[in-house]
Amino acid sequence: MKNLAGKKALILGIASNRSIAWGISESLKNHGAELAFTYQNEKLKERVEKLAGECGSDIVLPCDVSVDGSINQMLEKLSGRWSEFDILIHSLAFAPKEELEGNYIEKTSKDGFIQAHSISSYSLLELCQEAQPMLKGTNPSVISLSYLGAVRGMPNYNVMGVAKASLEANVRYLAYAMGENNIRVNCISAGPIKTLAAAGISDFRKMLDHVEKNSPLKRNVTIQQVGDTASFLASDGASGITGQTIYVDSGFNIIGMPSID
């Protein structure tokens, strides 16, 4: 059970108690890990501090990955508390809201494209570049979050799909590059979940209903299920796994035809 005892995890991407990063935090904590957190802006600070407290953590640091030097400054502060750590969770993404609706050709701007790729994919590289010297446990593990839109055409996901394709390739190249230091890098491709990032996305409810109706398991996934998969990937039990995209989606990605009733 406590297979993460003695391991330390840094978690980026909590915005609320519905965040996938929160499901991951609770699972890592339950498996015995010690946690540290970051928040994107002052608006989120108190909320993240409260959730950190629930996990027995008082390490809560600012980090906006779109601001030059922010990752470096955050890790500099973290090194005052932890000289090394074992687990790095990257659970963040952004594209301009207006580009996540409508026709990809018509809606995608150069700025939006660059922003989506910078925040959702490049930030993982920068984080790994800066954190690598501190990732020193027995089996260090880096985990990011992706979505099926990386590898399939889908309505409305648009530039985020292209950025997630970049993220998944980024995971493979980072796995290659960090392998010589025994650091594993993987991502979890989660099914749709009602988080803040899903709020205001048109037809999100219909997407949840579609997965419930058509996935092999006939249900949606929870942040707890994603969290438990992250705990496995972070554990010594996954020491042979790197560069992978693991689907936690009730099997939705394998279907070739929806059920006909």
As annotated, the active-site residues are 147, 157
The single-letter code of the amino acid at 220 is N
What is the CA 130 to chain-centroid distance, rounded? 18
| Under rule CB under 6 A, residue 66 binds ligand NAD | yes
Task: Find the binder of ligand NAD among 24, 52, 193, 230 (CB under 6 A).
Answer: 193
Q: What is the per-residue burial (b if ≥16 Cβ within 10 Å, else e) of 92-127?
A: bbbbeeebbeeeeeebbeeebbebbbebbbbbbeeb
Q: How far is the CB of 22 from ligand NAD (least distance, A)?
A: 8
Binds ligand 0WE by CB under 6 A, chosen from 97, 205, 213, 218: 97
Q: What is the DSSP string of 44-113?
A: HHHHHHHHHHHTT---EEE--TTSTTHHHHHHHHHTTT-S-BSEEEE------GGGSSS-HHHH--HHHH
Contacts of ligand NAD in 10-39 (CB under 6 A): 13-16, 19-21
Q: Are 33 and 82 in contact (CB under 8 A)?
A: no
95 versus 230: smaller Cβ distance to ligand 0WE: 95
| CB 185, min distance to ligand 0WE, A | 19
198 binds ligand 0WE (CB under 6 A): yes
The contact set with ligand 0WE (CB under 6 A) reads: 93-95, 97, 100, 147, 156-157, 160, 192, 197-198, 201, 207
The contact set with ligand NAD (CB under 6 A) reads: 13-16, 19-21, 40, 44, 63-66, 91-94, 119, 145, 147, 190, 192-193, 195-198
